[in-house]
Structure 1
Amino acid sequence: MKRARPVIAIDGPAGAGKSTAARLLAKRLGYKLVDTGALYRGVAFISKERGIAPDDPEGLASLARSLKLDFRADEEGRSRLLIDGVDRDDAIRNELVAALASRISQLPELRAALLELQRRFGKDGGVVLEGRDIGTVVFPDAEVKVFMTADPAERARRRAKELIERGQPADLKEIEASIRERDAVDEGREVAPLRPAEDAIRIDSTALEIDAVVDRLAKIVEEKEAGR
């Protein structure tokens, strides 16, 4: 069934600028924003609280299905994760949770458990989803697919700035090493590896201001809607 408004899939590695671009684009278009990486972070965070081992695929999948995961937009349009109705977004935004989320996201059982939820978020269109496999697995029929990337050193600099703004410690060398390690994990996993969809528009944001990226994305969506 043809959707009234498009699904916009923005994929790419950590620090490529996709989260900021997705947020600003969704705000400009009046679309819902879904940060799919936050879903894995949420499961990782709660699994640690409840003592579920990262190598327990069935336990993690069962946990994911039992949690009520949703989002609300703050005043700046940021997508904040709600777990069982409680805002836990600040708790999941650190490097320890990110590393655990990257590890458990390799499990096919967990990915299957979260796949249905992600598709429910976007089934009616009018949504911007950002993650690592939106255009290839979650919504291979998305009307707009974008793959964003940037130089690892620049991505590390951006991540460090974000952590400092949150009042968290940030070691640039450690962050860059973590980013390179996570890239290897995401690109090398057997299930839903990080890669651009064949029909994705690729954007290297290394030397681009975020406003220029969002302007380009908005134009792509406008052209797509005009041709519907």
Structure 2
Amino acid sequence: MSAAPSTKDKILTQSRELFNSEGFGALTAVDIANYLSMSPGHLYYHFKGKAEIAAALLTAHIEELETIKNAALSACVGTKATIEAAWTWMHILVEEAWDARFAYREPLAIVRSDARLANQMRHMFSVQHDAAWGLLHALRSSGTILASDEAFDGLVHQVALGLAFQLVRMEFDAQVTEKPRDLIARAAALIILPITGFIAPSVQAT
């Protein structure tokens, strides 16, 4: 029988839901406490304000990104480094970004709430860049894609930027009725699209 979630875990889970649905910058600690149906004092006992909650959520998010990145780079090696495999892992990375989408919508608001959060935001984007570089390097090493060093560097930056912000941009264009899983799939497809222009002729022929 699993243990019941702790109060801190409940605060983090529900705060993430609130940040994702209502935004981060405009909310106060009192707003968060009201949403959680607890007194501001009770909230403050566990977290010393909104920025501390954001720091804990970012830490958990970065840990998930690191886990996904490491699994992706372990799986996509040699003949297993295919466009399909890369798309699958990028899809998973986009899913994780969706779960913490408040961080990608309002990075400046998060940093302004506490300058110490800037390092976490940089780390978050760095992990995505490393994942993009690793997956593309695996594709190039396996001969799946062909690209000069200059083109490869540009492609890495383009994919990393897509992992960070493609989903956020598409939210503004999405129909209200579109399900998150469909939005995530479309974002992942657009992120990987530039890579298909570098597929080796020998791979295209198969």
TM range (shorter): under 0.3
TM-score for the superposition, normalised by structure 1: 0.25
Q: Which has the higher contact order (CA 8 A, sep 6+)?
A: 1
More strand per residue: 1
TM-score for the superposition, normalised by structure 2: 0.27
